[in-house]
């Protein structure tokens, strides 16, 4: 049984708190939030204890693991302190918006060989995971092309966008990680962006649509397309093409119903709209993988280096967007 | 090059005339219709000759084959005369509405071993044919169940229904033949019918919806469902289920387009609505098969016996409908 | 918070015990099984209490509801005693294999107006439920035809079949209920059966494949096809066809992956094979509906009468199978 | 009735000759090829006349139109001479591999306002055409993203690649035109290429896989992915994404059959493998559109400027590939 403290009781922290509680080999021993009310609510709902401070969690020898679900600007500090306190860490993405801070963090804690896992939940989606397993099992022969479609249902408030680090660091970061998950290390990035949806996003200097092409060290080519708006739901698809065939992972819906009528046939439901619903199984599997890693002292599928590399790709894409040049990354 | 005369220049005769003209190894040397204007039009369109009478066709030694596309009540007479004249015969379904006349016809001409093919076009549909070929190739192991869905876009005029011989002889006749095509000889029939669409059809003593269950000599069970109306087009599907798997043949559409929107996703076109469009490739392949049989003196996939057996199944279904009893057929 | 006792801790009882434990407004206060070891295991796993007898549950005023998951031959006795003890009852299907005992049970307890729900889990499948809701919402106009495909992955042991009451009472019972759920009361039944899979099943006097056609009081026609074996998984589909369109509910799979290769394209996973996996969401929703009914004193979607009617249809189908006659049911 | 001469009787010329012959308002009055045997064969098959020279066609006042299906290096000369002779011209793509020659050709003949159509057959594919019509009809609202997947079944011989002008001018040229067909004028191009399939292609200085991103004047972003090899057939898909929804055009197959078994479910046929089969309907519709344009003196959907613009995009993509820079095109 692995004992968790949750640091951060916002929407996503609350979801993780419930998943930890539901896990047969995990228990939620404490919750913390700078907003006391948020922590109180989660503790009440799940029968857990409110922690008075981060240190109360880090100093408690009965707590094995901390789940960092607080705001992005606190991640580096909390990862560092938790790792030094000998806790296993599961931290929501991104590690930070500034690659220099990320590098510095790793310089400081890397030598401790801490168990740090970054919440790239999509790696645990059953369909994307099946894609990876089947690619690695050789079903496609050599992997040649990956096409990642990733479109959010609706743009976030401009105020959020302003502090988000921009589309690439905030939204595409998941797709950069998916690219690496399927195709391995990336060595070259080209990006094109547009403002097609919300003029307010342009005003704060960000884009709301993008198309990216990348080259993997293996030679495989990868395409990502992003949109901050999608009328039919949260569009999350991956296509992997190789020498011997193709594997596609498609969207998820609430039912299997198909409707036939004079206007159209085989019409299915809109796709699941909300990320917590769409990735419900993935979030459960993510916790489960982390618990496994803590129990068995194994490296997580998405560790600190994965968080850092995804941010490096976001930075490279931004440089390409700004310069119109293809950007090469060192190995 | 096989020389054809067409007897009957209505809608379906005209379609076949065009297909014969387009066939690389067939030529249309004459056309006949009791309505002279109909024959004139087809001859003019296709550069063929108007025949003054049926005998003109039957006495012409340069004519190899006749295509009988006249009204059902003329079929037996024309098949008989054509067979006696030594012509190869391709006759639209059904042979006749009266099984006694059909039996008598065969008694008279069977001994001549004529080449008579009945226009069960669906046997030549590429998808249904692939189903049969794959079943016979062993892909399903033992065939256990067949489900035939067959729904017309809209009911015919009541006046037509009145003289049609009823749903089973007019519409289901194709499905009975499909059942035999896939599952072989049928030994038992149960039928249930309903009046769900057009009260006028009830008034003339017919049904407009039906569900049938049959047992093949092989043991396989077969279900047919029929409707005289279908809002989304001409619904023509077949499912074959066996020991090792299942094969389904689906509807056809004008394009491969799928539409995604807030109301529904992956919505495809309505299915092809008009039987000539839906079975376009099948009608071409039907002519081609007949030309092959004439050239090679081979038995057609759907000969006179197939026409007779489908009618016997229609009669058995009608008996079951009227008596509420399962009807057994002798081998 | 509704307090449950579980009577019967076999495979299905254990699953329900877990679902009750996971439900936010239910608690599992006791478990009982004639095999003490089974009860011990469930109690240990879920932190519940082992009950020494059925009466211990029925006499405990703190227990609101009993879940009857014991063998079929105990159902009538346990329903009767539980109803008399004033407990809400959720009982696995079927109520009994003998319609006379079922009728007698209802004669005895019906006047108490007990809350008895029968475990027709498929009514709670999100896709089948959406079908029903959309039919009732008028999307199809008049409902004209229903096609239910229901094929088990593999036949049960012959020993089980022997005491099962036969295919119709054991397996088709779910499909009879689905027919009533979608099309309402049934007034006529025709059935055909076959022995296509396991000769041992024939030896004990049962069939292993069936096709049934029924007429609803509304006029709608319903087809059910059953097989005790299905190579590609647990095949559970429903098609509802009406005046204005068609709705289909399809099978469920573990992932959304489609594979493309030289042998075939868009190939999906085998369908979920195990009923507990296939109907996972349905079993959760079933408990939830029951809890709702207990809390709000409402009639369940599937009450005692639904259990009785499904059994009457099974008996009618058996009569049709044995006599070759269409069997009519009184209203 | 429009009278055609065909110049060039290779594989593709022969196909077009057959389509012209089958067209109800076109006739094939003469065929020419530098290889006399090729012309003889086509003339014999289709009952047409062999022309002794190109001039024999251009000087014949009874010939309305010439179809140029000879090798690429002859196109500019034949277009120029035909236009000057007052013939309507339908010329296979590309106009030429050298943009300067293409520009010079247009400088010479543009003032004659000739009817010149370029054989971008995909514009006439029923599904791609439906996509365009529905986009222009407003179904998507503003068009924001286009994803074009275009993969050939197998790489051509290296000898062919050597003289082909390279992947972008030889193969992607169709996709550049599709991009313009759906999204309008293109103003910016980024390209990345790879050698993943045939080392011989690398040796002659070409690539065999590519990913391209473009920006349309409208702001829409367009992605093209290409491969010279595709195990499951000729992969030709288009996705158009907009404000209000998405439209996808999918691959075509020989049948509608889906196979279900222990290994996989709903497996469809490999996609049509051969471009003449895949675009059969498109080639017929292309001839039909040209005949319409000649009869009605209308501008074709794909005129000389479309041929030139597609080549400019190929050149821009090549420049981006070679420089690693985003290339901007003047309006």
How close, in Å, is residue D25 to chain B by CA atoms?
12
pLDDT at B331: 55
Of D207, D161, D237, D235, which is closest to residue D317 (Cα–Cα)? D207
CA A89, CA D277: separation in Å to the nearest integer? Answer: 57
Q: Where are the beta strands (DSSP E) in chain A?
A: 2-7, 26-32, 65-68, 88-91, 116-118, 143-151, 186-194, 209-216, 221-227, 235-242, 245-249, 258-261, 327-328
pLDDT digits (tens, 9 = 90+) for A265-307: 999 999 998 898 999 999 999 999 999 999 999 999 999 999 9
Would you list the domain boundaries of chain B? 2-114, 122-328
Distances (CA, A) of A203 to A46, A162, A195: 42, 9, 10
Q: Per 3-state DSSP, what percentage of chain B is helix, strand, and coil (rounded to 5)?
A: 40, 25, 35
Query: Are the beta carbons of C241 and B232 separated by less than 8 Å?
Result: no
pLDDT tier at D330 (50, 70, 90 boundaries)?
confident
Q: Is B36 helix (H, G, I), strand (E, B) or coil?
A: helix
B213: nearest CB among C213, C219, C325: C213
Query: Are the beta carbons of B245 and D257 separated by less than 8 Å?
Result: no
For the cut 60, the answer to whether the pLDDT of residue A331 exceeds it is no
Tell me, which fold does domain D122-278+301-328 have in CATH?
Dihydrodipicolinate Reductase; domain 2 (3.30.360)
Average pLDDT over residues D191-200: 98
Question: Any long-range contacts for C164-168 (C-beta under 8 Å, 24+ apart)?
Answer: C164/C206, C165/C72, C165/C94, C165/C97, C165/C314, C166/C205, C166/C206, C166/C207, C166/C314, C166/C318, C167/C193, C167/C206, C167/C207, C167/C208, C167/C210, C167/C226, C167/C228, C168/C210, C168/C313, C168/C314, C168/C315, C168/C317, C168/C318, C168/C321
A196: nearest CB among D142, D151, D188: D142
Dihedrals phi, psi of A328, to nearest 5 degrees: -95, 140
Query: Are the beta carbons of B232 and C209 separated by less than 8 Å?
Result: no
B248: nearest CB among D127, D244, D258: D258
Query: Are the beta carbons of D246 and B261 separated by less than 8 Å?
Result: yes
Q: Which CATH superfamily is domain B122-328 in?
A: Dihydrodipicolinate Reductase; domain 2 (3.30.360.10)
Query: Are the beta carbons of C265 and D269 separated by less than 8 Å?
Result: yes
Q: Which residue in D has a C-alpha nearest to residue B129's C-alpha?
A: D255
Residues of A in contact with D243 (CB under 8 A): 197, 229, 231
Q: Which residue in A has a C-alpha nearest to residue D228's C-alpha?
A: A243
Residues of B in contact with C221 (CB under 8 A): 192, 194, 209-211, 225
CA D115, CA D294: separation in Å to the nearest integer? Answer: 8
Distances (CA, A) of D109 to B7, D5, D62, D116, D306: 55, 20, 22, 10, 15
CA C164, CA C314: separation in Å to the nearest integer? Answer: 12
Q: Is A151 helix (H, G, I), strand (E, B) or coil?
A: strand
ipTM: 0.96
Q: Which residue in D has a C-alpha nearest to residue B23's C-alpha?
A: D22
Q: Which residue in D has a C-alpha nearest to residue B127's C-alpha?
A: D255
How many CB pairs (< 8 A) connect C and D? 57
Look at phi and psi of residue A297 and say left if phi exceeds 0, alpha if psi is from -120 to 50, else beta. left
Query: Are the beta carbons of C219 and B229 separated by less than 8 Å?
Result: no
Distances (CA, A) of A132 to A216, A226, C113, C126, C271: 15, 21, 56, 29, 20
Query: Are the beta carbons of D144 and A188 separated by less than 8 Å?
Result: no
pLDDT at D271: 95
For the cut 70, the answer to whether the pLDDT of residue C331 exceeds it is no
Taking chain B (331 residues) in runs of 10, the rounded mean pLDDT of each run is: 97 96 93 96 94 97 97 97 98 96 97 97 98 98 98 97 96 98 98 98 98 98 98 98 98 97 96 91 96 97 97 98 95 55
Q: Supply the mean pLDDT for chain C.
A: 97
D192: nearest CB among A221, A230, A245: A221
CA B207, CA C32: separation in Å to the nearest integer? Answer: 56
D254: nearest CB among B126, B131, B257: B126
| Chain B: residues touching C (Cβ < 8 Å) | 142, 144-145, 147, 149, 151, 188, 190, 192, 194-197, 209-215, 219-223, 225, 227, 229-232, 235, 241, 243-246, 324-326
Cα D277 to its chain centre, rounded Å, is 15
pLDDT tier at A330 (50, 70, 90 boundaries)?
confident
D231: nearest CB among A211, A245, A326: A245
pLDDT at D331: 55
Residues of D in contact with B251 (CB under 8 A): 256
Q: Quick check: B65 and B4 in contact, CB under 8 A? A: yes
β D65-68/D143-151 pair status: unpaired
Hey, what CATH class is A2-114 in? alpha beta
pLDDT tier at A24 (50, 70, 90 boundaries)?
confident
Q: Computed over its alpha carbons, how large is the radius of gyration of chain D?
A: 20
Neighbours of chain A (3+ CB pairs under 8 A): B, C, D
Query: Are the beta carbons of B210 and C196 separated by less than 8 Å?
Result: no
pLDDT digits (tens, 9 = 90+) for A98-119: 999 999 999 999 999 999 999 9
Query: Are the beta carbons of A270 and B265 separated by less than 8 Å?
Result: yes
How close, in Å, is residue C28 to chain A by CA atoms?
16
Q: Which CATH superfamily is domain C122-274+304-328 in?
A: Dihydrodipicolinate Reductase; domain 2 (3.30.360.10)
pLDDT at B330: 78
CATH architecture for the domain at A122-273+304-328: 2-Layer Sandwich (3.30)
D151, D257, D259, D267: which to substitute to probe chain C, counting the most C Cβ within 10 Å? D267
pLDDT at B24: 87
Query: Are the beta carbons of B250 and D262 separated by less than 8 Å?
Result: no
pLDDT tier at C148 (50, 70, 90 boundaries)?
very high
Q: Quick check: A84 and A115 in contact, CB under 8 A? A: no
pLDDT digits (tens, 9 = 90+) for A170-220: 999 999 999 999 999 999 999 999 999 999 999 999 999 999 999 999 999
pLDDT at C274: 87
B219: nearest CB among C147, C196, C223: C196
For the cut 80, the answer to whether the pLDDT of residue C159 exceeds it is yes
For B78, other C-beta atoms within 10 Å of its C-beta total: 21
pLDDT digits (tens, 9 = 90+) for C171-230: 999 999 999 999 999 999 999 999 999 999 999 999 999 999 999 999 999 999 999 999
Q: Supply the mean pLDDT for chain A.
A: 97
Q: Which residue in A has a C-alpha nearest to residue C252's C-alpha?
A: A256
Of A189, B223, B58, B149, which is closest to residue C227 (Cα–Cα)? B223
Please report the sign of the dihedral spanned by the C-alpha atoms of residue D159, residue D163, residue D168, residue D174: negative
D261: nearest CB among B131, B244, B259: B244
| Chain C: residues touching A (Cβ < 8 Å) | 22, 126-127, 130-131, 134, 139, 244-252, 254-262
């Amino acid at each position: 049984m692995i004992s968790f403290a949750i640091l951060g009781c916002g929407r996503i922290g609350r979801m993780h708190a419930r998943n930890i509680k539901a896990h047969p080999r995990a228990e939620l021993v404490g919750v913390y939030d700078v907003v006391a009310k948020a922590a109180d609510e989660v503790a009440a709902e799940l029968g857990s204890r409110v922690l008075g401070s981060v240190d109360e969690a880090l100093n408690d020898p009965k707590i094995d693991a901390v789940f960092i679900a607080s705001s992005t600007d606190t991640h580096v500090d909390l990862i560092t302190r938790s790792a030094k306190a000998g806790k296993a860490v599961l931290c929501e993405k991104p590690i930070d918006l500034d690659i220099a801070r990320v590098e510095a963090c790793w310089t400081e804690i890397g030598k401790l060989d801490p168990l740090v896992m970054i919440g790239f939940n999509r790696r645990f989606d059953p369909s994307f995971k099946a894609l990876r397993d089947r690619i690695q099992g050789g079903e496609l022969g050599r992997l040649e092309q990956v096409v990642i479609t990733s479109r959010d249902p609706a743009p976030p408030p401009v105020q959020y966008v302003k502090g988000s680090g921009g589309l690439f660091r905030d939204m595409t970061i998941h797709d950069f990680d998916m690219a690496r998950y399927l195709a391995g290390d990336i060595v070259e990035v080209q990006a094109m962006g547009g403002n097609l949806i919300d003029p307010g996003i342009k005003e704060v200097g960000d884009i709301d649509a993008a198309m990216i092409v990348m080259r993997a060290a293996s030679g495989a080519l990868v395409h990502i397309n992003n949109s901050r708006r999608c009328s039919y739901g949260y569009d999350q698809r991956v296509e992997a093409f190789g020498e011997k065939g193709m594997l596609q992972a498609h969207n998820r819906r609430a039912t299997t119903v198909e409707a036939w009528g004079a206007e159209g046939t085989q019409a299915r439901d809109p796709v699941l709209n909300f990320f917590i619903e769409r990735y419900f199984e993935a979030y459960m599997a993510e916790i489960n993988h982390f618990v496994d890693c803590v129990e068995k002292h194994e490296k997580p599928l998405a560790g600190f280096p994965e968080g850092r590399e995804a941010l490096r790709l976001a930075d490279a894409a931004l440089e390409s967007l700004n310069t119109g040049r293809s950007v090469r990354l060192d190995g």
